């Protein structure tokens, strides 16, 4: 922003990247000027962030599981927006241990929820499984959402 002549006004443009926020947001911005009567002031921004695509749970922990076992975890994907949301594909990693259904071409209408089922195959070795579910969408400012996944595989 350039100089503002005495007796005139100007704009302060503020951009908030809300990708990792939800609910309420507050930020103070310190503005300094060369105005002898008001050299500095605080501009407070308040915003309510509406999550267009909400996922429950946001973090999946299968907890402790035995080797060579299988577990399922329901996942709910809700469209809180005004238009249809298309999920083109859902990738899981590691694919050796995780699967999800359905995994592509999902359309969720406004206000509706789609139920998914995440499947864990613990494999034959003890240890920690850390992975992700990557949901690819048609939402311009939210092309993908990532859900962290964890399980601890215990020896018998």
Domain ranges of the chain: 10-49, 53-154
Distance in angstroms (rounded) separating the CA atoms of residues 96 and 147: 17
Place of tokens 């920690």: 128
| Residue 8 clears pLDDT 70, i.e. is over it | yes
Tens of pLDDT, residues 85-119: 999 999 999 999 999 999 889 999 999 999 999 99
Confidence bin at 3 (pLDDT 50/70/90): confident
| Residue 20 clears pLDDT 70, i.e. is over it | no
pLDDT > 70 in the chain, percent: 96
Tens of pLDDT, residues 27-40: 888 888 787 777 78
pTM value is 0.73
Class of domain 53-154: mainly beta
CA dihedral 99, 104, 110, 114 (to 10 degrees): -30
pLDDT > 90 in the chain, percent: 60
109-125 as b/e, with b when 16 or more CB fall inside 10 Å? eeeeebebebebbbbee
């Amino acid at each position: 922003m350039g100089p503002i002549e005495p007796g005139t006004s100007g704009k302060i443009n503020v951009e908030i990247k809300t990708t990792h926020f939800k609910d309420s947001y507050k930020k103070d911005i310190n503005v300094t000027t060369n105005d002898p009567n008001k050299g500095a002031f605080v501009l407070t921004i308040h915003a309510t962030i509406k999550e267009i695509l909400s996922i429950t749970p946001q973090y999946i922990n299968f907890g402790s599981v035995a080797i060579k076992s299988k577990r399922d975890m329901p996942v709910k994907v809700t469209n809180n927006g005004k238009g249809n949301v298309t999920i083109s594909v859902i990738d899981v990693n590691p694919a050796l241990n995780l699967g999800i259904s359905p995994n592509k071409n999902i359309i969720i209408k406004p206000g509706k929820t789609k139920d998914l089922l995440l499947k864990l195959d613990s494999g034959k070795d003890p240890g920690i499984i850390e992975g992700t579910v990557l949901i690819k969408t048609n939402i311009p400012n939210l092309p993908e959402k990532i859900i962290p996944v964890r399980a601890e595989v215990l020896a018998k």
